Amino acid sequence: MRSVLVVSQDSRFLDCVVNALRGEGMRAVSFKGAAMETTERGFRPRAIVLDPAVLLEPGGDELVRFLSGSPALAAVPVFSISSAAKRVELAELLCTLRRLEEGGKRAYG
């Protein structure tokens, strides 16, 4: 998998998800709520993992509009997993991302 962008304001959540993704051989990039800056610099993730708590914070609605309105990101799958998630939910996320990557390899050769 090229890259996964992880968006959260919770440092422990970021560390947990980023380490889990990297442990699976994925390139994980985390920015505390800075998805817009990242994509404006040319970073194009294969998937986005979003802590839904970010949406409740000031600017959360702006983030949603940006992600859905950006031609570069509109087709990027967004996975929502809470910082209160249990290990089984993180394991399901990793499994889904692996399937996404396997499907991409078949589709793109």
Element (H, E) at 4: strand 4-7
Q: What domains can you pick out in the chain, each with its CATH number?
A: 4-98 (3.40.50.2300)
17 and 5 Cβ atoms separated by less than 8 Å: no
Percent of the chain with pLDDT over 90: 0
> Which carries the bigger pLDDT value, residue 36 or residue 84?
84
Task: Tell me the per-residue pLDDT of 31-64, one tens digit each, with 9 for 90 and over.
Answer: 655 555 565 666 778 888 888 888 787 777 887 7
Looking at residue 108, what is its pLDDT? 40
Beta bridge partner(s), residue 5: 29, 48
Q: What is the 3-state secondary structure (H, E, C) of 14-75?
A: HHHHHHHHHHCCCCEEEECCCHHHHHHCCCCCCEEEECCHHHHCCCHHHHHHHHHHCCCCCC
